Amino acid sequence: MSTIEQHDGQAPSSSSERPAWHLPAARAAVAVPVGVAVTFLQAHDARVGLAAFAVLALGTGAALLVLRRGVPVAVARFPLVAGATGVLAGVVAAGLAAAAPSGDALKVVVAAWALVTAVVEGWAWLRLRATTDLRMRRIAADWRAVAVLTLAAGIAFALLPVHDVVLVGLLGAYAIVVGVFHGIAAASARIVAKDAREATR
């Protein structure tokens, strides 16, 4: 699996000095607990699905906005657009969970969020995939994988018939898979950063 690397002790013009592993670590810290919670909850109704998605979207969106300085300048719009979309979708989902929970609402809000964020993350990958900077190419490879997973989830939500148990289960599975991916990427990037620090001593 590709990893996000950060050259410690340097301040590349493409990104800030914030360690690059912080963002995938934060995204993992949101997604994994949501996926585990959904998996072990007995209730798989629309209210549970909307509430779980609200936590996932709000947490992921906030992480992207707060840690956006760790993203290369060439694709600085990616965390802004994806983060804002996540916060908006999370607020909508939370409101629907409280006021009007339904399978149709869950289906629409998750599909819309997933398709938008997948396109934006995929765009970020396309912008960086041709670069000669190895660090940026590895960043882009991670975004490509997440974009594909999110796009697949969005298409599935858009095409599947409304069935609360199926939709909520799919949401939980997506959260676990993406969360584990982010966790591995963050751990690998942290090891690379540590090795780079030791090599410069």
Please give the mean pLDDT across all residues of the chain.
Answer: 86
Give the start-to-end residue ranges of the domains of the chain.
22-192
pTM: 0.85
Q: Between 3 and 105, name the one with better pLDDT.
A: 105
Kindly list the distances between the CA atom of residue 45 and the CA atoms of 22, 41, 129, 162, 177, in Å, as whole numbers in the listed order. 33, 10, 40, 11, 21
In this prediction, residue 18 has a pLDDT band, given cuts at 50, 70 and 90, of low
Q: What integer is the mean pLDDT of 183-194?
A: 76
- Would you tell me how many other CB atoms lie within 10 Å of the CB of residue 57? 27
Residue 8 has pLDDT above 50, yes or no: no
CB 174 within 8 A of CB 153: yes
Residue 130 has pLDDT above 50, yes or no: yes
For domain 22-192, give the fold: 1.25.40
